[in-house]
Amino acid sequence: MTTSTSRTQDRPEPHDGTEPHGRAEKAPADGRTAGKPPSAGPPAEDSPAENAPTEDSPAQDAPAEEDIPVPPGAAASLLRSLLLPHRLRVGLTLLLLLLQQACAQAGPLLVAFAIDRAVPALRRGDSGVLVAVAAAYGVSAVGSAVLQRGYVRTTATVSQSVLLDLRGRIFRHTQALSLDFHERYTSGRIVSRATSDVDALRDLLDEGLGELLSVCVSVVYITAVLLAADWRMGSVAVASTVPLYLVVRSFRRRSAGVFRRNRTAVAQVIVKFSETMNGIRPVQAFRRERANDAAFGRLNDAYGRTVGDGVLEMARYVVLSRLVANTAVAGVVVWGAYRVADGTLALGVLAAFVLYLRRLYDPIDRLGMFLNSYQSAAAALEKIAGLLARRPAVPEPSRPVPLPERGAGRGREVVFDGVAFEYRPGVPVLPEFSLRIPAGQTVAVVGATGAGKSTLAKLLARFYDPSAGRVLLDGVDLRELAAPQLRSGVVMVTQESFLFSGTVAENIAVGRPDATREQVEAAARAIGAHGFIASLPEGYDTDVRKRGGRISAGQRQLVAFARALLADPSVLVLDEATSSLDVPGEQAVQRAMHTALRGRTAVIVAHRLSTVEIADRVLVMEAGRIVEDGTPAELVGGTGRFAGLHRAWRDSLV
């Protein structure tokens, strides 16, 4: 028997315990791993077995959601990209708003004309002027209403289209992000981005943005009219907006931090709620209700404090803005009254001034509500932009290379060529090694928890890219394969056997949506799942519900194998596919494995040595290295680690 291990280069090993990243020598022709056995001593202090994340949690020190960097200008760029497809509607919206404001702001001018011209004419017995003014007022009111309806309808169409586009982008982009992102970024935070943060943008688009445009246009109209009517009083009115600007600026600066904390706090509440509901069984089994309630209460209280801080900032803004506005109006009324008395200002002009000033200052409160929505939406948009700016760690190739034609009844050759991997820079999980798996061979990978077995499987499935070296499939680097060809060629079945809400047939057809019912049933029969599926209330049309909770763990695993068989991959990766099953369930899955592995290359990550017996070859891993490599019979008959594990397993069966 010949044992082979992970490759160590023929030069002194660095003193810090890490492996050098050099090019690997070519894998030997017999398919075994290249290199010499490492020393049998304990791993160095920086050994991956101690410092690297485990397979189940490779990123224990993952950054929190707020640590995701947001590139400069990402939020503005995202907003432009969302609005650009609707630029014609946006232009129409602005035109409707301009016309609507022209109609709406005509009222005070008509009142001034009525006081200064129509009333004196009526005293002379001429009612025509007053009738004309009343008719003009009615026309302007009707026109304003009609234009307002068109404006609201157009803005609603644009805002809903933008929000639908944004939700779709978040969903598609999150699906496209690599596994390392999802292991670092909780699903609750992603849900928060797609729900509460998008809702904050909806509030801005539905109410605040239209209000801002109306305020801006009305300010321009009113300022022009005031200056044209009487430039001295108009200048005083315009000057009074300076302290209002300072109030608005202070509110915007103070509330920005409040709403940024608010978006983070609501995301933490959603994460805690989602985590508790997803883990409701262990919560109730270990009586965690009271502790979870206390933790949720703390997060909820923190969220409530941020809401309260926002309300206080809004109250401060409203008080100061109204104080400035009312003072300015009072000053203009007093000065205007003196001018009317001395004959330098017409009464109608003063009345129009007061009406316009109220129209100028009244929207200031509404502007505060807009700023409220704006700050909340700006914080939400920033977080969404950070998510959408995140690039996959496993990118699509710019020029995909097709795989060679696959021979009938055989898998594909897998080669790890000088591969090394680390989750965190400077902390190797898999020191450099080379490994060749011939087409059609079934390889079992065993070892203690944290030895690197699942990491090896994830590299083969290209959930991660190696830090050094290449993983080849029939001579083609996985990084050069288009995702559809890679996913159809390499399929992984994990111990979770995740099932989606839907029917059994739909779950089996996940990897091949165009499969017919006959093909789905044929795959289930081949695996041995047809019997239990037929016994379900609605057979293949039975809804398995969330996570497949309607059927047992063993049955879910059988459905997962039927799914893999129907997809017909050339390489099948089984990551501890039987570790959570009871003995009858394991036996059923073992029979299914024989069928699923036939005619394809397979890598089986196994904790139970009963799974190893169907393998052509066994790799024993320790501290990220392959320390033994041989057939099951060779290793059982030897004196190495696998022989000891096998003896202990056989003794446990007695």
Q: What are the tens digits of pLDDT across the range 559-570?
A: 888 888 888 888
Cα–Cα distances (Å) from 400 to 240, 405, 480, 545, 547, in that order, read 64, 15, 5, 38, 34
- pLDDT, mean over the chain: 78
- Same domain? 494 vs 642: yes
pLDDT in tens, 522-536: 888 888 888 888 988
pLDDT exceeds 70 at position 229: yes
Supply the pLDDT for residue 42.
Answer: 33
- Please report, for the domain that includes residue 464, its CATH number: 3.40.50.300
pLDDT tens per residue across span 581-632: 556 656 666 777 777 778 889 898 877 777 787 888 999 998 889 999 988 8
Residue-range definition of the domain harbouring residue 136: 71-389
Phi/psi region, residue 27 (left: phi>0; alpha: psi -120 to 50; beta: rest), is beta
- Give mean pLDDT, residues 486-508: 83
Residue 236 has pLDDT above 70, yes or no: yes
The whole-number pLDDT of residue 26 equals: 37
Alpha-carbon gap, residue 494 to 87, rounded angstroms: 47
How much is the average pLDDT of 540-547? 81
Provide the pLDDT for residue 443. Answer: 92
Same domain, 372 and 471: no
419/450 same-domain check: yes
Q: What is the pLDDT of residues 444-477, one digit of tens each?
A: 998 888 888 889 999 998 989 999 999 999 999 9
9 belongs to a structural domain:
no
Residue 245: CATH number of its domain: 1.20.1560.10
Question: Would you state the structure tokens that stand for residue 7, as one six-digit string?
Answer: 């490759």
Q: What is the pLDDT of residue 548?
A: 67
Which of these three, 343, 358, 389, is where a domain ends? 389
Asked whether residue 28 is assigned to any structural domain, the reply reads no
Find the mean pLDDT for residues 345-357: 82
Distances (CA, A) of 53 to 306, 540, 624, 638: 35, 40, 11, 31
Contacts of 29 (CB under 8 A, 6+ apart): none
State residue 32's pLDDT score: 46
Q: What is the pLDDT of residue 470?
A: 93
**Range of weakest confidence among 190-199, 206-215, 258-267, 548-557:** 206-215
Does residue 29 form part of some domain? no
Please give the share of the chain, as a percent, with pLDDT higher than 90.
Answer: 10
Q: Which of 606, 618, 497 lies closest to 562 in space, CA to CA?
A: 497
Question: Is the domain of 343 the same as that of 425?
Answer: no
CB 466, CB 459: distance < 8 Å: yes
544 and 587 together in one domain: yes
- Distance between CA atoms of 484 and 482, rounded to whole angstroms? 6
For residue 263, pLDDT beyond 90 = no
Residue 579 confidence class, pLDDT cut points 50, 70, 90: low
Looking at the fold, whether 330 and 442 belong to one and the same domain comes out as no
**According to the model, what pLDDT value does residue 420 have?**
93
**Average of pLDDT values for 262-286?**
79
- Whether 398 is in a domain gets the answer no
The count of structural domains within the chain is 2
| Residue at 22 is within a domain | no
Are residues 327 and 456 located together in one domain of the fold? Answer: no
Per-position b or e across 164-198, b if 16+ CB within 10 A of its CB: eebeebbeebbeebbbbbebbbbebbbbbbbebbb
Band of pLDDT at residue 5, cut at 50, 70 and 90? very low
Do 189 and 65 contact (CB within 8 A), yes or no? yes
User: Of 362, 389, 416, which marks where a domain is finished?
Assistant: 389
> pLDDT grade, residue 6 (50/70/90)?
very low
Strands of the sheet with 468-473, listed across from one edge: 430-437, 414-421, 468-473, 476-477
In a domain, 4, yes or no: no
| Domain end position, chosen among 354, 389, 424 | 389
pLDDT at 372: 67
Q: Are residues 372 and 449 in the same domain?
A: no
Percent of the chain with pLDDT strictly greater than 70: 83
User: What is the reported pLDDT for 583?
Assistant: 60
Say if residue 369 is in the same domain as residue 419: no
In angstroms, how far is CA 146 from the centroid of its own chain?
41
Per-residue model confidence (pLDDT) at position 459: 92
The answer to whether position 276 is within a domain reads yes
601 and 453: one domain? yes
Q: Is residue 82 domain-resident? A: yes
Return the closest-CA partner of residue 327 out of 209, 237, 432.
Answer: 237
Question: Is the pLDDT assigned to residue 136 strictly greater than 80?
Answer: yes
Residues 377 and 461 placed together within one structural domain of the fold: no
Give φ, ψ of 31 to 5 degrees: 90, -5
For residues 244 and 213, membership in a common domain is answered with yes
Using CA atoms, how far apart are residues 592 and 578, in angstroms rounded to an integer?
11
Out of 2-6, 172-176, 478-482, pick the least confident. Answer: 2-6
pLDDT digits (tens, 9 = 90+) for 200-227: 788 777 766 666 777 777 778 888 888 8
Of the listed ranges 124-138, 500-514, 549-563, the least confidently predicted one is 549-563
The pTM is what? 0.64
